[in-house]
Amino acid sequence: MSSTARELIPPESREPEGAPGRTGRAKGGRVRRLSGRDKLVLSLMVGIPTLIELTLVWLPMLMSVGLSFTRWNGLDLGDIRPAGLDNYQFISQDYPPFWPAVQHNMLWLLFLALIATPLGLLLAVLLDQNIRGSKIYQSIFFAPVMLSLALIGIIWQLFYQRDNGLLNFLLGTAGTPQAVDWFGDSSVNIWAAMIAATWRHAGYVMLLYLAGLKGVDPSLKEAAAIDGANGYQTFFRVVFPAMRPINIVIVVITIIESLRAFDVVYVINRGTNGLEMLSALVIQNLVGEGQVIGVGSALAVVLLVISLVPIVFYLSRTFGKENKA
Amino acid sequence: MQLFFKGENMAAQFDASATAFPSRRTILKTVGVGAAGLAGIPFLAACTGGSGPSATGSDSPGLTFGSGSSDDVPKRAYQAVTDAFTAKSGKKVTTNVVPHNDFQNKINSYLQGSPDDTFTWFAGYRMQYYAGKGLLAPIDDVWESIGANYSDALKKASTGPDGKMYFVPNYNYPWGFFYRKSLWAEKGYEVPETFDALKALATKMKADGIIPIGFADKDGWPAMGTFDYINMRLNGYQFHVDLCAHKESWDQQKVSAVFDTWAELLPFQDPAALGQTWQDAAKALEAKKTGMYLLGSFVTQQFTDPAVLADIGFFAFPEIAMEGRDAVEAPIDGLLLSKKGGENKAARDFMAFLGSAEAQDAYAAVDSSNIATAKGTDTSKFTPLNKACADTIANAKYISQFFDRDALPAMANNVMIPALQSFIKDGKMDVKNLEAQAKTLYAAQ
């Protein structure tokens, strides 16, 4: 802050006459006071983003927290009635999709953390070896991250369809009664959806790790090689720990992605029949005609509280370190 | 007016972003913006109140018409109706077409903001709810002139909770069993009149290696048709209405009986239901893989081959215990008059015009997939299938509107869809839990 202020303030410009003493102090290395215009500029620069953040993030968040303790039909503001903890009681006791959704979010997290993220890392390491056509492979693996929702739906439909999908065709069961109904059978569709999610997530992780690998000082690798470390040792003992900042980002991204997992299940069947996810339930209850504002807000608050854990962890890691430095 | 539509677009954008990239933030933002938007509406309405069509009662130059019929064919069909009205009365109709999902999803803020004078909507609880909240204008005077054009069942479906008339039906389409006549003739199947005959027929079909009843519930709503019919055939039309309005408890023997009866039919319904859409099931019927299919008559849109279409037969859901086949599930689409539009004479004239055979013929000339509701409409172009559908409706004493139109939308979408999907899986239903959920959701209204 103080360095910014020093750059911003030409002390003489405001009061060209009659304040030699003050100028003298400024020359001594410290700016004690900001002029009126400086204050204005600073408060605008800090104030506008703060205001945007307040109105677009904090206010709606606090409003949803507030609405989660009410009953409201969304029509007249006068119809808002206090409901205490009823909405929370409803989702935890009477709303059948809620607990399956929590379980599916956990499963999603485990799957992304144990399979999708390591897969992304593997791809990054392979593509970092300067193999021929590396850029093409990168584009291919990253493409799913950029595809639109509708396209993803079509692509996986072609793959998973029961009667003429590619997968059942390869298994030789297409068109027979033994054909697996990858999207309709609630015991397999969550796995089908998670594989589709992996397809996206791995590309994302790959790109971040590629950037991370480029940032690792090559002399570290050389030093390890000189010390006689083999490829595995160099990577796991030297390179991977050196990418610590990236690793933390990836952990947080993986957790957040699994909490807000939505698009894939939504295009399959709008998050019903074995594909319940918290985010899909929030949308179901808040958007559209089936709107139940109190219940939807309560679900959103549950999701928010769960999301806060990794966010707080991440922020305290990042800023805690900066303060020490 | 312009202010409102600007707001509408913004809301649409926010919704779109929420659907596409629903990060935690956008979800919360959507909630907040929705709430803020609603809070802002009274002011918007206040600003724009004066800019609407003049509300002098007797003579206004025209009216506005909000239409959720955004697909090409119905859009052109409504255009034909408004053109005919303008030609007849000299009053100008300004049509605002909104994509139908948006139209339905935003109906709450639409009606509270500054709605068009008349707008497209559905009969049933979805109409009664807004009538009860005082957001619609009663049109008893319109019904005095058009009442003779409609059957009692249609009149009943157009009546609000206070006994006043609110709705002018335009067209409807019945739900029932569709089958391929050639397949049935070849195998010697006969149309079942009773539920036992239906089961006997299904057993026979199964033995012949055919899936007896086509079924698709990936989208969640089609299964409600089976539920509605078994419920009405077992407990009667009035029970259906009361249950949908939650005047009857879900936690009672009558409701359990519906699921028990359905469980007898479940083994005959396509086991792949949860993975396919109604379009897939229609194809299976076309390919003679399934013997019959319970759906609305819109199923025929899938049969693009005229030879196949000519081979499709229709029969009403067989009788079980009560009222024979008096009730038919035939969702009705038509027009409502908003509270503001109630003061516009031209809008009332337009409603009355839509209730005439002349207007509905103009509509049907463009969109022939539905059945006009007014008496005296031109039936000369009807196919035998159209005729069978129309007769079923004409002979019905009661017309139900389908569960998601007769019940609270939240009950239909958030409770019944997952409940019926899990019933299809294991044939079990926890009616106590249905009641617990219904209690909370209806109390929130």
* Cα angle value B213/B430/B322 (rounded, 5°): 55
Q: With a cut of 50, say whether residue A25 has pLDDT above it.
A: no
Residues A111, A92 share a domain: no
Q: Which of A265, A286, A301 is the last residue of a domain?
A: A265
Domain that holds residue A176: 103-265
What pLDDT does residue B373 have? Answer: 86
Residues A254, A125 share a domain: yes
What pLDDT does residue A79 have? Answer: 77
Q: How many CB pairs under 8 A join A and B?
A: 160
What pLDDT does residue B17 have? Answer: 36
Q: Which of A238, A265, A292 is the last residue of a domain?
A: A265
Residues A237, A168 share a domain: yes
What pLDDT does residue B230 have? Answer: 93
Mean pLDDT across chain B: 82
What pLDDT does residue A272 have? Answer: 81
What average pLDDT score do residues A116-143 get? 86
In a domain, A21, yes or no: no
B433 vs B445: CA distance, rounded Å: 19
**A149 with B437: Cβ contact below 8 A:** no
> In A, which residues are within 8 Å of B276 by CB distance?
162, 184
Residues A55, A168 share a domain: no
Q: Which of A227-241, B1-15, B258-272, B295-309 has the highest mean pLDDT?
A: B258-272
What pLDDT does residue B443 have? Answer: 82
**A97 with B218: Cβ contact below 8 A:** no
The answer to whether B287 faces chain A, any CB pair under 8 Å, is no
A174 vs A158: CA distance, rounded Å: 12
Q: With a cut of 80, say whether residue A13 has pLDDT above it.
A: no
Mean pLDDT across chain A: 80
From residue A325, alpha-carbon distances to A5, A51, A247, A308, B185 in Å are 21, 30, 20, 25, 86
The answer to whether B90 faces chain A, any CB pair under 8 Å, is no
pLDDT confidence tier of residue B5, bands split at 50, 70 and 90: very low
What average pLDDT score do residues B123-146 get? 88
In a domain, A221, yes or no: yes
A178 vs A180: CA distance, rounded Å: 6
Q: With a cut of 70, say whether residue A16 has pLDDT above it.
A: no
Contacts of A196 (CB under 8 A, 6+ apart): A152, A156, A264
Can you read off the two tokens belonging to residue B248? 């009857």
The answer to whether A94 faces chain B, any CB pair under 8 Å, is yes
Contacts of B43 (CB under 8 A, 6+ apart): none
The answer to whether B16 faces chain A, any CB pair under 8 Å, is no
In a domain, A73, yes or no: yes
Q: With a cut of 60, say whether residue A37 has pLDDT above it.
A: yes
The whole-angstrom distance between A116's CA and the closest CA on chain B is 20
Residues A198, A158 share a domain: yes
In a domain, A114, yes or no: yes
Q: With a cut of 70, say whether residue B131 has pLDDT above it.
A: yes
Residues A136, A231 share a domain: yes
Give chain B's count of helices (H) and strands (E).
22, 12
A248 vs A117: CA distance, rounded Å: 12
Amino acid at B136: L
Q: Can you tell me which residue has the tokens 């009788």?
A: B319
Task: Name the percent of chain A lying above pLDDT 70.
Answer: 87
The answer to whether B443 faces chain A, any CB pair under 8 Å, is yes
Instruction: Assess contact for B15 and A291: CB atoms under 8 A.
Output: no
> In B, which residues are within 8 Å of A186 by CB distance?
274, 425
What pLDDT does residue B340 have? Answer: 86
CATH code (residue A150): 1.10.3720.10
Residues A83, A69 share a domain: yes
User: Per-residue pLDDT tens for B364-396?
Assistant: 888 777 788 888 888 887 888 888 888 888 888
CA dihedral B81, B86, B87, B88 (to 10 degrees): 90
For B432, name the nearest residue in chain A, comparing CA atoms only.
Answer: A94
**A284 with B414: Cβ contact below 8 A:** yes
In a domain, A185, yes or no: yes
Contacts of B3 (CB under 8 A, 6+ apart): B44, B47, B48
What average pLDDT score do residues B81-94 get? 90
Q: With a cut of 70, say whether residue B348 has pLDDT above it.
A: yes
What pLDDT does residue A322 have? Answer: 60
Cβ-based neighbour number of residue B339 at 10 Å: 17
User: Per-residue pLDDT tens for B205-231?
Assistant: 999 989 999 999 888 889 999 999 999
Cβ burial, residue B76 (10 Å; 0-12/13-18/19+): middle
What pLDDT does residue B423 have? Answer: 92
> In A, which residues are within 8 Å of B275 by CB distance?
162, 181-185
User: Per-residue pLDDT tens for B24-66?
Assistant: 444 444 444 444 434 333 333 333 333 333 343 445 678 999 9
Residues A86, A72 share a domain: yes
> In B, which residues are within 8 Å of A291 by CB distance?
108, 409-410
What pLDDT does residue A323 have? Answer: 61
A184, A293, A296 member nearest B274 (Cβ): A184
Answer with the residue of higher pLDDT: A154 or B311: B311
A260 vs B128: CA distance, rounded Å: 37
What pLDDT does residue A22 have? Answer: 46
Residues A307, A257 share a domain: no
Residues A114, A90 share a domain: no
The answer to whether B31 faces chain A, any CB pair under 8 Å, is yes
The 8-class DSSP code of residue B167 comes to E
What pLDDT does residue A29 have? Answer: 53
The whole-angstrom distance between B211's CA and the closest CA on chain A is 12
Answer with the residue of higher pLDDT: A169 or A301: A301
The answer to whether B63 faces chain A, any CB pair under 8 Å, is no
A70 vs B31: CA distance, rounded Å: 14
Amino acid at A316: S
Q: With a cut of 90, say whether residue A32 has pLDDT above it.
A: no
What average pLDDT score do residues B248-261 get? 91
Residues A284, A139 share a domain: no
B129 vs B160: CA distance, rounded Å: 8
Can you read off the two tokens belonging to residue A303? 């999701």
B23, B104, B272 member nearest A289 (Cβ): B104
What is the number of residues in chain B? 445
Can you read off the two tokens belonging to residue B168? 């002018």
Beta bridge partners of B179: B292, B313
Q: Which of A246, A265, A284 is the last residue of a domain?
A: A265
For B106, name the nearest residue in chain A, comparing CA atoms only.
Answer: A288
In a domain, A28, yes or no: no
The whole-angstrom distance between B299's CA and the closest CA on chain A is 20
Instruction: Assess contact for B341 and B120: CB atoms under 8 A.
Output: no
Report ipTM (2 d.p.).
Answer: 0.73
What pLDDT does residue B225 have? Answer: 92
What average pLDDT score do residues A12-23 get? 44
From residue A109, alpha-carbon distances to A185, A197, A254, B21, B123 in Å are 22, 11, 7, 19, 45
What pLDDT does residue B233 have? Answer: 92
Instruction: Assess contact for B136 and B167: CB atoms under 8 A.
Output: no
Residues A85, A107 share a domain: no
User: Per-residue pLDDT tens for A39-57?
Assistant: 899 999 999 999 998 889 8
User: Per-residue pLDDT tens for A244-300?
Assistant: 888 888 888 888 888 878 878 888 888 888 888 888 888 888 877 778 888 889 999
pLDDT confidence tier of residue B275, bands split at 50, 70 and 90: confident
Q: With a cut of 60, say whether residue B15 has pLDDT above it.
A: no
pLDDT confidence tier of residue A31, bands split at 50, 70 and 90: low
B410, B421, B425 member nearest A292 (Cβ): B410
In a domain, A304, yes or no: yes
The answer to whether B428 faces chain A, any CB pair under 8 Å, is no
Phi-psi sector, A15: left (phi>0), alpha (psi -120 to 50), beta: beta
Identify from B28, B33, B339, B406 which residue to disrupt to test chain A contact, counting A C-beta atoms within 10 A and taking the largest count.
B28
What average pLDDT score do residues A199-208 get? 88
**A289 with B107: Cβ contact below 8 A:** yes
Identify from A58, A75, A164 which residue to disrupt to test chain B contact, counting B C-beta atoms within 10 A and taking the largest count.
A75
> In B, which residues are within 8 Å of A263 by CB distance?
20-22
pTM of the complete model beyond 0.80: no
Q: What domain count does chain A have? A: 2
B19, B23, B413 member nearest A260 (Cβ): B23
What average pLDDT score do residues B135-157 get? 88
Can you read off the two tokens belonging to residue B335? 């027009």
In a domain, A22, yes or no: no
